[in-house]
Amino acid sequence: MIRVLVTDGMEKSAVKELRAKGFEVVEKFYNPEILGEKLREFDVIVVRSATKIRKPIIDIAAQTGKLKIIIRGGVGVDNIDVSYAKEKGIKVANTPNASSASVAELVLAHMFAVSRFVNISNVSMRQGKWDKKKYVGVEICGKILGLVGYGRISRQLAKKASALGMKVIYTDILGKAKDTDEYEFCELNNLLKRSDYVSLHIPFIKGKGVTIGKEQLDMMKNGAYLINCARGGVVDEVALVEALNNGKLAGAGVDVFVEEPTKNEALVNHPKVSVTPHIGAATKEAQVRIGNEIISIICDFFK
């Protein structure tokens, strides 16, 4: 029987369906020290973002040759040493389509929150304050949204933002998209200088460093907003707090952090910041889609 280890949770209906199809599914989180040994007993591992599968774990897991595929339930695979796994004959797959709409909607939620002080007024009212005159916000309609990275999530966000009356511009490491002329392509520095809102949709590449640091933040419009629902490591959190403190940025929406769970109280408690605990894909609809996509990946691989 093909054995599947699910370490970070999975939609219950998907687990039930896998079992009905004859797969043995074990739902359990293992600490890194023992994960490699446990993986010697499984054909498949399904992870989210909590489990990190690095070279030492892969080395131990590959000793028996039983582990055939690592599946990331989500878009990014930066918590997996992908190239090394492939060198060891282990396939790596993800579910890039399932959570695009959910993440795009969360970006918009953060944009609305910081634009209209939903984040901080929610807190102040619970403290008995009525700061009506203090919270004069801005409308997003008519503003420029700059997308850094133009993948599946960006494309979803572009459509939604455009429908709300925003002008969308984008940049991407691959250059101008060949399949659309609907939005304007520009280089990163130009995008940063022009955008009222900058939303990040790029992976964190270990060893490459941040994409948005002090230099990039200084380029942005005075009073602009930065939204990061991509990966924590792509933004210099210290530089971000500084830009919020000195008034360079009017606000920020942050769903992902350099360290998770984050200990950065200066960022989390900042009155200009809307924060969420890495919940971009955490909708019921997305979890069902992710589960279905994982089932398809496993069934196609072992058919």
Catalytic choice (72, 110, 155, 231):
231
Q: For residues 19 and 12, is the Cβ–Cβ distance under 8 A?
A: no
Catalytic choice (37, 41, 182, 260):
260
CA distances from 128 to 42, 82, 121, 140, 273 (A): 54, 51, 11, 29, 21
DSSP conformational letter for 252? E
Does residue 278 have an active-site annotation? Answer: yes
CA distances from 122 to 129, 131, 228, 271 (A): 10, 11, 21, 11
| Block residue for tokens 């380029």 | 219
Catalytic choice (155, 278, 289, 293):
278
User: Cα separation of 109 and 124, whole Å?
Assistant: 19
Q: For residues 220 and 190, is the Cβ–Cβ distance under 8 A?
A: no
Other CB atoms within 10 Å distance of the CB of residue 102: 22
> Edge-to-edge, what's the strand order for the sheet holding 184-185?
184-185, 167-171, 144-148, 197-200, 224-228, 249-254, 273-275
User: Cα separation of 182 and 134, whole Å?
Assistant: 38
Does residue 110 have an active-site annotation? Answer: no
Residue 216 exposed, middle or buried by CB count within 10 Å (0-12, 13-18, 19+) = buried
User: Cα separation of 146 and 183, whole Å?
Assistant: 10
Produce one character per residue of 168-177: b if its CB has 16 or more CB atoms within 10 Å, e if not.
bbbbbeeeeb
Report the catalytic residues. 231, 260, 278
